[in-house]
Chain A
Amino acid sequence: DAKTTQPNSMESNEEEPVHLPCNHSTISGTDYIHWYRQLPSQGPEYVIHGLTSNVNNRMASLAIAEDRKSSTLILHRATLRDAAVYYCILRPASGGYQKVTFGTGTKLQVIP
């Protein structure tokens, strides 16, 4: 099953943009790239997902490399509430049981 690689931790200043990278060199053609985040003492929260094209929603933007072997989650203006662990995972498009690996993610620290 395809895995993802993320830095263990990153820091950002408040109100500045944050680029969180994710490498997924073994991604298959039908894998969707999903991002979730987990605030302290809470369950993971869906952020954004995409297949090939860049995606935007109210929370963030997702930039996907042309070869799809990497992607970047972009928070346009970091706030203290964005301090969380961010997970990048791959989910196949087909149905049935799929082993989905949530790794250890990137812990984002936002500095006031």
Chain B
Amino acid sequence: DVKVTQSSRYLVKRTGEKVFLECVQDMDHENMFWYRQDPGLGLRLIYFSYDVKMKEKGDIPEGYSVSREKKERFSLILESASTNQTSMYLCASSLGNNGVREQYFGPGTRLTVT
């Protein structure tokens, strides 16, 4: 089975801190994604990566950056955390970035910024 793991289930950070969220997948997928999920808003794509060192902005990239130095690992970085970035963050991976292939999600990281 595909496994997507995220570094933390729960995280509490202070405003202005730099925050790293890490995601690792074990199925050699080219594509990896970062979403945030907020009540009433569904899932929103922050960034995705279709190959090592490649990245594309999603719908809400402001305030975030990403890093993909190895195929299996995709990191989301909050350069200076703010309270409006309190959210559930979900990482996903897929073999292809199109409708032919399904996405596999990690368990999520619930981030609270105080």
A-to-B contact residues, CB < 8 Å = 30-32, 34, 36, 41-46, 49, 51, 87, 90-105
Contacts and interface: CB of A to CB of B under 8 A. Distances in A.
Given A44-B90, A99-B58, A102-B42, 14 more contacts: A43-B4, A43-B92, A43-B105, A46-B103, A46-B104, A49-B102, A87-B42, A87-B43, A91-B98, A93-B99, A102-B35, A102-B44, A104-B42, A105-B42
B97 interface: yes
Given A42-B108, A91-B98, A100 B42 contact: no
Interface of B: 4, 35, 40-45, 48, 56, 58-59, 90-92, 96-100, 102-108
B106 A43 contact: yes
Given A43-B108, A44-B90, A46-B103, A96 B42 contact: no
A94 B98 contact: yes
B5 to A, nearest CB: 11
B48 A97 contact: yes
A98 B98 contact: yes
Nearest to A93: B99
A103 to B, nearest CB: 5
B90 to A, nearest CB: 5
B42 A34 contact: no
A104 B41 CA distance: 7
- Most interface-central of B45, B59, B106 (chain A CB within 10 A): B45
A98 B94 CA distance: 13
Contact of B97 (A36, A45, A96): A96
A32 to B, nearest CB: 3
A34 B41 CA distance: 19
Contacts of B44: 102
- Most interface-central of A31, A96, A102 (chain B CB within 10 A): A102
B105 A49 contact: no
B90 A43 contact: yes
Nearest to A47: B102
Contacts of B91: 43
B33 to A, nearest CB: 9
